[in-house]
Amino acid sequence: MKNGQEPLTFVLQSRHSRRSPLLWFDEEKGVNRTLRYAKNQRSPFEDEQDDFAIVEPIMFENGVLKVDKHDTVLQRFLELHPKNGITFEEFVPEKNAEKQIEDLNEEVDALIAAREMSIDKCEEILREVLGPSVENMSSKEVRRDILVFARNSPYEFLTMAGDPDVQMKNNIGSCLYTSIYISWVHASLSTSRALFIRMRSFFLSDVTEVLMSTGRLKNN
């Protein structure tokens, strides 16, 4: 089944009904054709089957349906089924290997980036993931957790590593954490998102450059 789903059993719809249509549009004939799987028939189209069709359930076990290479009717039925590519997909070893290679390369890239990342940048990302608890962690704990995060969630890690707003949020959090007061931030701001937008504008402004140059504001 698609997306790694592995239910103990899953029964795929094998016949058409008004409540749950099972149709395939025939472009040559310009009509919708009714699908029905019957093992004793030579076609998956109901209009090409005789009156003695024996409809059988199509059951996936642990997310897998094994189809006999000689059962061409079922193969064609699954190919035309409207849930093909949505609920299930054909297992192609080469395609699966290609996807695994992509995932492994992404994991390797994430681990290398995490290993070479500065401790400050590691802390910035972990604050987004773990919250304020990072402040009480040792540098070795930070290094360990960033590698674990990169290994388990390589895509999210790489995305955060290249996101400039991560550092911006940390600067804002640092200001709030150390109780630095900025006069134009009013208590009437109702949401943290609005606060972030205001603070982000401040950190990108010329005022920030002046404060940093005078040592009145430090960039963590």
Q: Model confidence over 161-194: pLDDT tens digits? A: 988 777 666 666 555 554 444 444 444 444 555 6
Same domain membership, residue 71 and residue 7: yes
pLDDT at 25: 95
In whole angstroms, give the CA distance from residue 50 to residue 61: 30
pLDDT at 183: 44
The residue segments making up the domain with residue 204 are 179-220
80, 100, 119: which is the final residue of a domain? 80
State the amino acid at position 22 in one-letter form.
L
Predicted local distance difference test score (pLDDT) of residue 189: 44
| 71 and 120 belong to one structural domain | no
Q: Which two tokens stand for residue 93?
A: 């070893």
pLDDT value of residue 78? 96
Q: Does 43 fall in a domain?
A: yes
* For residues 133-138, average pLDDT: 89
- Give me Rg for the CA atoms of the chain: 29
Q: 170 lies in a domain?
A: no
- 3-state SS assignment for residue 79: helix
Number of structural domains in the chain = 3
Burial of 9 (0-12, 13-18, 19+ CB in 10 A): exposed
- Has residue 68 been placed in a domain? yes
pLDDT band at 135 (very low <50, low <70, confident <90, very high): confident
What's the mean pLDDT in 58-67?
Answer: 93
Taking the model in full, what pTM does it have?
Answer: 0.47
